[in-house]
Amino acid sequence: MDPDRPLTLLGGLSASSFLRRHWQKRPLVVRNALPGALAGVDRERLFALAASEGVESRLVVRSGARWSLRHGPIAAEALPVRSRRWTLLVQGVDLHDDDAHRLLRRFRFVPDARLDDVMCSWAADGGGVGPHVDSYDVFLLQTTGRRRWRVGRVGRARLRDDVPLRMLADFVPSDEWLLGPGDMLYLPPGWGHDGVAVGECITASIGFRAPAAAELAAALLERIADDARDRAAATGGSGSTRYGDAGAEPVSHPARLPRELLGFADAALDRALADVELRARALGEVLSEPKPGTWFARGAARLGGRGVALDRRTRMLYDDRFVFVNGEAIRATGADATLMRRLADERRLDAKSVAQASAVARGLLAEWLRAGWCIQPSHRFDDRTPT
């Protein structure tokens, strides 16, 4: 994608201009950004998804000053369809719907490692989830109906303790917009927002991943620890130095940790964390992990003649040494690396590219087909929706 080409979904700004002027800085309203987007994701589709096992959903109902929250699955007959002021939120719609998946891909001017998902909310008149603040960037696309948004920068967020939602206690908006079908609002992290449906409406929320440092460190350390255990198991423990204390003196405080053992442990940790390649591999594995609860249906037994495409649930990333697919790292070099990186970037390979791939690469693609990570697309399939 040309980073300097004007984009309709950014109001005529190029990706470069948007990232420079607005990304993580200030809101942007784009009128008629994506008209007709998600036409197939209607009320019935969202109600059906909310009733399904394996789909994360929530029902938020406001009755006077009281708010209630219920987690899915939620049967359609349990929804208060004759009432006002309620919202049904369905997370990860892009995992279950091709149109939502293609919508998410329109925002690939930001790295895939930062893309999260498309959440869709259906709201009755007056419905919303109250004023709140997110710790990540979000695009709020109105697909049907209208929603009134009030937004304002939040310094130190103070939350209400009388509602089952992370709702701001003293929200003070600075701007207000009424969005209609096709309109979109971008909000950086730290901007409070309160969206209220004006009549029935559907809003799609395109969210981005912003891992907390402590959570990311914990996930990376777990991967590094797994690698250390695998290496120890492969060598029977013979591949690493063992602690020794030859020449030790008798101790008068036997329960005290030996200073030498503490130093040995520190050195072991330093050696494990000093492996830059291992740290990078752990990061790629963590960031390419599918969302919790994601499952893949087994696919074709062998490669056909139609090329391959990544399943919409598959996460695929790469760095200079590895290709990462659904939490697994594969070392790739030469022509195979070029091919796999193209698959990650374009999310498909044509039949000619597959036919010219090495036996190793074709073996990997066949394995991913059987696992359901890849599909053999029909001639109508096209994941390269223009932005």
Which of 13-17, 229-233, 350-354, 366-370 has the lowest average pLDDT? 229-233
Q: Does residue 295 fall inside a structural domain?
A: no
In a domain, 324, yes or no: no
Instruction: Report yes or no: 272 and 282 within 8 Å, Cβ to Cβ.
Output: no
Q: What is d(CA 79, CA 81) in angstroms, rounded to the nearest whole number?
A: 6
Q: What is the pLDDT of residue 234?
A: 80
Is residue 51 within 8 A of residue 74, CB to CB? The reply is yes
Is 239 within a domain? Answer: no
The answer as to whether 344 is a domain residue is no
Instruction: Give residue-wise pLDDT tens across range 40-92.
Output: 999 999 999 999 998 999 999 999 989 999 999 999 999 999 999 999 999 99
Q: How confident is the model at residue 385 (pLDDT cuts 50, 70, 90)?
A: very low
pLDDT of residue 237: 63
Amino acid at 232: A
Which of the residue ranges 75-89, 141-155, 164-178, 370-384 would you say has the lowest mean pLDDT?
370-384
Mean pLDDT of 298-303: 80
Mean pLDDT calculated for residue range 223-245:
82
Percent of the chain whose pLDDT exceeds 70 = 97
Q: Which amino acid is at 144?
A: T
Going by pLDDT thresholds of 50, 70 and 90, the confidence category of residue 383 is: very low
Does residue 287 carry a pLDDT above 70? Answer: yes
Choose between 218 and 241: higher pLDDT. Answer: 218
Inside any domain, residue 307 = no
Query: In this predicted structure, what is the pLDDT of residue 377?
Result: 82
In terms of pTM, does the model score above 0.85? yes
Give the pLDDT of residue 232. 81
Q: Per-residue pLDDT averaged across 350-376, rounded?
A: 94
User: What domain range includes position 135?
Assistant: 8-208
Checking if the pLDDT of 194 tops 80, the result is: yes
Is the pLDDT confidence value at 239 over 70? no
Q: ∠ CA(308), CA(310), CA(314), 5° rounding?
A: 155
Contact 90, 57 (CB under 8 A): yes
Grouping H, G, I as helix, E, B as strand and the rest as coil, residue 48 is helix
* Domain contains 96: yes
What is the C-alpha to C-alpha distance for residues 159 and 59, in angstroms, rounded to an integer? 20
Q: What pLDDT, on the 0 to 100 scale, is given for residue 205?
A: 98
SS3 for 108? coil
Q: Is residue 67 part of a domain?
A: yes
SS3 of residue 269 by DSSP: helix
User: Band of the pLDDT at 229, cuts 50, 70, 90?
Assistant: confident
What one-character DSSP code corresponds to residue 6? B
d(CA 97, CA 219): 29
Mean pLDDT (the chain) is: 93
pLDDT at 327: 96
The pLDDT assigned to 382 comes to: 46
**Is 282 part of a structural domain of the chain?**
no
Q: Domain with 184 in it: what CATH number?
A: 2.60.120.650
At residue 302, the 3 state secondary structure works out as coil
Report the percent of the chain where pLDDT is more than 90: 83
- Report the domain count for the chain: 1
Average of per-residue pLDDT across 367-385 = 74
Residue 153's pLDDT band, with cuts at 50, 70 and 90, is very high
